[in-house]
Amino acid sequence: MTSPEVHALTGPYVLNALPEDERVGFEAHLADCRSCSAEVAELREAANKLGTAVATAPPPALKARVLAEIATTRQLHPLVKQEEPIAPQPAAVKKSFSRRSFFGLAAAGLAVAGAGGIAIDQYRDSSRIRKQNEELAALLSESDAQMVRGDVKGGGNATVVMSPSKDRAIVLLHGLQQLPDGKTYQLWLMDKSRTMHSAGLASGQSADQSKLIQGGVADKIYFGLTVENVPGSPTPTLPPAALIAMA
């Protein structure tokens, strides 16, 4: 991204109008850009006036529920300055492919992906990352959990962790090639009659991402990844960038 383009993202960023991958990219830039951080702080104050402008009294019963919940909620440890960053663990992927080591790796990857956000932005905590890790751990703990993996044309690979009994899957995309503007990755699941069903989009701008697929997983035989025009296609454009047998 060239620098004028990046600076123009302060507006969409403050309005939470950036897709996840672009948000992560912009936050990485923010960490190195003092003028951007200052602008973000100011624009944020301005945007939030729009929030104050629509204040509405909540239902009175809500307060009791909130107070009851905080009574059983532990507060976070304060951040001590100059905390050590979470060390990424690259290249540990190769050999032992046991569930346990895989989970450790995936969790590390996700945690690292989130760390930039924490470091430069006090507003976004790690809850999203934590949730992803919890989902992955839960899925892997199912007795029928399976994991398949394949290469993606153009670079990178896709790993599908699934549980037919839970009818859900988590797709971990790693090292994907960046797509030109206006292109997106799209996920597909193929059923026994060889019909492809869209399972949502994955950004063309982010090398590493994870996607949760809930439902429609159990009876599928292949996972597919294609490159499509934004905002996705009702039918897959062939040949796919990846096609991975799920059973």
Partner 1 sequence: MSEESTALPWPVAVDATAGTPADLMSRVARGDSVAFAQLYDLMAPRVYGLIRRVLRNPAQSEEVTQEVMVEIWRTATRYDADRGSLTSWILTMAHRRAIDRVRSEQSSTDREQAVAAASSTTEYDEVAETVTTNLEVEQVRHCLSSLTELQRESVTLAYYGGYSYREVAELLDAKLATIKARMRDGLIRLRDCLGVTGR
Residue ranges in contact with partner 1 by CB under 8 A: 5, 8-12, 14-19, 38-59, 62-63, 65-67, 69-71, 73-79, 122-125, 127-128, 186, 198-201, 213-216, 230-235
Q: Judged by CB, which is closer to partner 1: 42, or 151?
A: 42
Give the C-alpha separation, 17 to 232, whole Å.
19
- Least distance to partner 1, CB of residue 114, Å: 14
- Report the residue number, 104 or 215, with the smaller CB distance to partner 1: 215
- How near is the Cβ of 85 to partner 1 at its closest, in Å? 16
- Could you tell me where the DSSP H helices lie in 98-212? 99-120, 127-140
Where is 86: in which H helix or E strand?
none
What is the closest distance, in whole angstroms, from the C-beta atom of residue 53 to partner 1 in the complex? 4
In the DSSP assignment, the letter for residue 26 is: H
Closest approach of partner 1 to the CB of residue 209, in Å: 13
Q: Residue 197: beta bridge partners?
A: 189
| In contact, 193 and 186? CB cutoff 8 Å | no
Is the Cβ of residue 155 or residue 215 nearer to partner 1 in the bound state?
Answer: 215
Q: How far apart are CA 19 and CA 103, in angstroms?
A: 26
Q: Which residues contact 51 (CB under 8 A, 6 or more apart)?
A: none
Question: Would you say 14 or 162 has its CB closer to partner 1?
Answer: 14
